[in-house]
Structure 1
Amino acid sequence: MRTFTDQRGTLHVFNATPKRIVSLVPSQTELLFDLGLEDSIVGITKFCVHPFHFKSTKKIIGGTKKVHYEKIKLLHPDIIIANKEENTPEIVAELSAICPVWVTDIITIDDSLQMIADFGALFHKRTEAQKWRDKIHFALHDFQNFMRDKPAHKVAYFIWANPYMVAGGNTFINEMLRLNKFENIYDNHPNYEGRYPEVIIQKIRQEGDPDLILLSSEPFPFTDEHAFELGRYTHHAKTVFVDGEMFSWYGSRLIKAFEYFKKIHQSIA
């Protein structure tokens, strides 16, 4: 019998290493694959697009906010991997009747490294997990050196239009912005509540007037028309279309993210 505690503080007891995994989070699906657990993954969401071949080899059980409970039951999972932000408490509670639901809570890189270590212990992949942790530590140190002489920029990171929504404080995206010396004008802004507030773009100038407007590739497909509309309400902001996966996916994706961030800084220099 083995006991583990997830990042929500829930204690889990397993008689054996979980062999049948349902993953409800795209970035965590990618991490599980990178830890060598492809054969153990039996169910994923329609948003789990990496690795690409999973769409044809794994059972799709719905999305992150709407899951098909009967499909999950039929997979006879030993464990379901969820996330505090991606999956609602109601989903977690209902799925807990099927099997243990492991909930991650990721705000910082340290949280992500803890998740990797947890998965290593939970799935008997400690060596693989430590390799990924070491690679991320090295890549992070290299990127911090790269950023040492880079100037800071005020930014607004948009995730949605109609209505316009941004990444606020206490989010993994905000942590990635800080790492890039991107000062998020909506980080705990007094005029807005929540981690992803709906904002009034006509007030963007008086509420922070960013140097850069970052338009994420996910979850909303921004276009040049959105960039033009947002640009009308700033003094001088440059609009940059960015890969949302690099700013919001945690786990093994961080290795690719650091290299991607370097390219962004080279393009805006």
Structure 2
Amino acid sequence: MENYTLIDSIGTQHTFHKVPQRIISLVPSQTELLVDLGLESKIVGITKFCIHPKDLRSKKAIVGGTKKVDCDKIKALVPDVIICNKEENTLEMVETLRTICPVWVTDIVTVEDNFKMISDFGNLFDCVAEAENWNRKLTLALSDFKSFIQTKPVKKVAYFIWKKPYMVSGSANFINELLELNHFENVFANQQRYPEVEPEKINANGDLDFIFLSSEPYPFKEKDVLEMHIFTQPAKIVLVDGEMFSWYGSRLLKAFDYFKELHQKL
């Protein structure tokens, strides 16, 4: 390919003189997507949280986490591009990494954003056919899930992501998008991002149907269910798979099957 110019999700224009051959990915879900697009051999660095596929961390250089990385280690890997995300990575990190090579930043809030990211990766890494195939599969799965969910009643939920302090998902994020898709009315959708809450106050009106305790980023367990139950009766407290509600990319295909199973259990 000759020189080509693309614009990422936050409006940064990038001009590449060749297709990037050495990729560092600092977002676990996007690492999984890159592998599913057939780009595993081009990935040279990942985070310690990039756990899918399971054997990837034994094959690739670990350069840190999503909030803090070893810049010297990244420089030594001589990357052509670094893949980040507006929410997962910090602005300070992105600005520092831009002194090494181009940093492609995604911003995923809606399912449409997810389709666009996959298409962008297809153009960026010259794997358009693979990207189109994934978007086709996801489009079919989304249509099927919308048919499944169509007759399900809307239920009120609070989705917890953190403890000490307790934090929930508000609006303007991918979790809220998937809650809405599932006919779950997020009672904190009137607040932005991830507000702190007092659990003893969240069900003051007694109209909450479910409290979801996510497996990530805080790993809620059964003991947390018992603890939360003291505050929030009579809402049903459910441990949910955080990857399915918060990972974008190709993970969404598995998420639709997970959501169907979740609704059957509820």
Same fold, judged at TM 0.5 (above): yes
> Normalising by structure 2, what TM-score?
0.97
1:180 aligns to what? 182
Partner-residue secondary structure (3-state), 1:157: strand
Unaligned residue ranges in structure 1 (runs of 5+): none
**Matched residues in 2 for 1:262 and 1:196: separation?**
26
**Matched residues in 2 for 1:101 and 1:258: separation?**
30
Post-superposition CA distance 1:123-144 (Å, at most 9, x none)? 0000000000000000000000
Describe the shift of the 1:146–1:69 C-alpha distance in structure 2 as closer, same or farther (beyond 3 A): same
**Matched residues in 2 for 1:225 and 1:247: separation?**
21
**Structure-to-structure mapping, 1:113-124, within 5 angstroms:** 113-124=115-126
Post-superposition CA distance 1:39-70 (Å, at most 9, x none)? 10000000000011111000000000011101
Alignment counterpart, residue 145 of structure 1, candidates 128, 144, 147: 147
**Matched residues in 2 for 1:146 and 1:110: separation?**
20
Q: What amino acid maps onto 1:14 in structure 2?
A: F
Unaligned residue ranges in structure 2 (runs of 5+): none
1:2 aligns to what? 4
1:244 aligns to what? 242
Shifted more, 131-140 versus 223-232: the winner is 223-232
Q: Which runs of 4+ in 1 moved over 3 A?
A: none
**Matched residues in 2 for 1:134 and 1:40: separation?**
24
**Matched residues in 1 for 2:23 and 2:82: separation?**
6
Question: How far 1:229 moved relative to its partner?
Answer: 2.3
Post-superposition CA distance 1:177-229 (Å, at most 9, x none)? 0000000111124xxxx411110111112377421010111111212232122
> Normalising by structure 1, what TM-score?
0.96
The alignment-based identity, stated in percent, is 59
Describe the shift of the 1:120–1:230 C-alpha distance in structure 2 as closer, same or farther (beyond 3 A): same
Q: What amino acid maps onto 1:79 in structure 2?
A: V
Partner-residue secondary structure (3-state), 2:250: helix
**Matched residues in 2 for 1:97 and 1:113: separation?**
29
Question: How far 1:151 moved relative to its partner?
Answer: 1.2
Asked if residue 32 in structure 1 is aligned to residue 34 in structure 2, the reply is yes
Q: What amino acid maps onto 1:128 in structure 2?
A: E
* 8 Å contact kept, 2:44–2:61: yes
**Matched residues in 2 for 1:30 and 1:223: separation?**
25
2:197 aligns to what? 199
Describe the shift of the 1:159–1:39 C-alpha distance in structure 2 as closer, same or farther (beyond 3 A): same
- Residues matched between the structures, number: 264
Alignment counterpart, residue 12 of structure 1, candidates 14, 21, 33: 14
